[in-house]
Amino acid sequence: MTPTLPSGDQASDQDNWDNGRLAHKRQLLTEIILRNRLTALVVDGDTTCRVLEQLLLHSYGVQTQGVDNGRDAIALIASGVKFNLIIIDMILSVLNGLEATRQIRDMGVHCKMLGVTACSGESERQAFLAAGVDVFIEKPLDPEHLVPILRELDGQ
Amino acid sequence: MDRNRLHNQVASMRRSLFDQGYLDDQFIQLEELQDDTNPNFVQEVVTLFYNDSTRLIQNIEQALNSRPIDFCKLDDYMHQFKGSSSSIGAKKVTNECTAFREYCNAENAEGCIRSFQQVKQEHAILKRKLEVYLQTVTSFSNSMSCMETILSYIAYTIISSSLYIENMDKYGKLFGTTPQTELGVDKCLTTL
């Protein structure tokens, strides 16, 4: 059994330090049920980030694949695999995220692309958007950003 | 009771990690992703982070020791470090990574070296605190499992005894004795 950790909405006054925020987060996590089967590709060189992003998507019922560099992402898409959503980091080995994004768009792929990166500067944001991502998100990827996008992709 | 003490300990440690700024809301995200199909998810992700980030620290140290310093490579390493630390909610570590990147962008070698010491310090402090916290969570979880086992056994014994009492006559005929005799009871319980 997974232990029930002390949480805001079950806690005593002593534990009530994040009552509102935790309840809001839980609401966001559970408030979407996908009607369609969506697929996503996560392109991130960092294993921790890639695992977390894939599991977050999976928790909403999205089928995911993950690769750790830009070249493998290009090869996968070139092989004909289709995705509803691509999540891509800016800094990647072999082929960086900006160039990989340009090449993916040049291949005629029009699916939603999220640039999810630890970079937070305006110049990085503009560069990633110019390369072809639809949305620029500073890491970590969280439900507040993801759920509206999934809802849009699901036609809700 | 030990269980209550453990529960309070877990709650207190968790509150302290957030109040003192070691963790932020993203850690709650990890906890939300933990469920019966991934019962040790938080522990596994924290372990994954520390395995990967230890390698990154070694790479950054090598890059800082090389002459001339390759600030682009340093920035890439720290970008990855910042990304993974923010993904597990390691707030202080992430903040130190941000400070480092500012020195890196300015190509300030001394600033990078000083800042990196802070990154390593926060990284180590959080590792110790999370080890203790997650160990306490595991102890609490094990005490819950133990209690469930005990309660299940008690429930089983009560139900079995109830069934035995309901079927006194049948067992008496089966063992050639009245169920009240000790020998009869032992034989009945063995049969069950």
In this predicted model, what pLDDT tens digit does every residue of B162-174 receive, in sequence order? 776 776 666 555 5
CB nearest B52 (choices: A46, A52, A89): A46
In this predicted model, what pLDDT tens digit does every residue of B43-71 receive, in sequence order? 999 999 999 999 999 999 999 999 999 99
Q: Which of residues 118-147 of A touch B (CB under 8 A)?
A: 118-120, 139-143
Minimum CA–CA partner of B138 in chain A: A3
The whole-number average pLDDT for the span B94-102 is: 95
Domain assignment present for residue A53? The answer is yes
CA distance B53 to B39: 23
CATH assignment, B3-147:
1.20.120.160
Half-sphere exposure of B14 (CA within 13 A, CB side): 24
| pLDDT > 60? residue B83 | yes
Domain assignment present for residue A68? The answer is yes
> In this structure, is the dihedral angle defined by the CA atoms of residues B81, B95, A29 and B129, taken in order, positive or negative?
positive
Interface predicted TM-score of the whole assembly (ipTM), two decimals: 0.79
In this prediction, residue B169 carries a pLDDT of 61
Domain assignment present for residue A50? The answer is yes
The whole-number average pLDDT for the span B69-84 is: 94
Give buried/exposed letters for A88-102 (b at 16+ CB in 10 A, else e).
bbbbbeebbbbebbe
| pLDDT > 80? residue B175 | no
For the entire predicted model, the pTM comes to: 0.78
User: With contacts defined as CB-CB under 8 Å, which chain A residues touch B30?
Assistant: 52
**In the numeric block, which tokens belong to residue A119?**
């970079």
In this predicted model, what pLDDT tens digit does every residue of B108-157 receive, in sequence order? 999 999 999 999 999 999 999 999 999 999 888 888 776 666 776 777 67
Q: Tokens 């996968």 label which residue?
A: A76
In this prediction, residue B38 carries a pLDDT of 84
In this prediction, residue A70 carries a pLDDT of 95
User: With contacts defined as CB-CB under 8 Å, which chain B residues touch A26?
Assistant: 32
In this prediction, residue B158 carries a pLDDT of 74
Q: What is the CATH number of the domain that holds A143?
A: 3.40.50.2300
Half-sphere exposure of A46 (CA within 13 A, CB side): 38
In this prediction, residue A26 carries a pLDDT of 55
Q: How many domains does chain A have?
A: 1
CA distance B163 to B156: 11
> How far does A134 lie from chain B, in Å, by closest CA?
20
Q: Which of residues 29-48 of A touch B (CB under 8 A)?
A: 29, 44-48
In this predicted model, what pLDDT tens digit does every residue of B28-39 receive, in sequence order? 999 999 988 888
Domain assignment present for residue A15? The answer is no
Mean pLDDT by 10-residue block, N- to C-terminus, for chain A (156 residues)? 39 43 56 88 96 94 96 96 97 92 97 92 94 96 93 91
> How far does A48 lie from chain B, in Å, by closest CA?
6
Domain assignment present for residue A6? The answer is no
- Give Cβ neighbours of residue B107 (< 8 Å, ≥ 6 apart): B69, B71
Domain chopping of chain B, boundaries? 3-147, 148-186
Average pLDDT, chain B: 84
By residue range, what is the domain housing residue A72?
Answer: 38-154
In this prediction, residue B182 carries a pLDDT of 41
**In the numeric block, which tokens belong to residue A85?**
């959503």
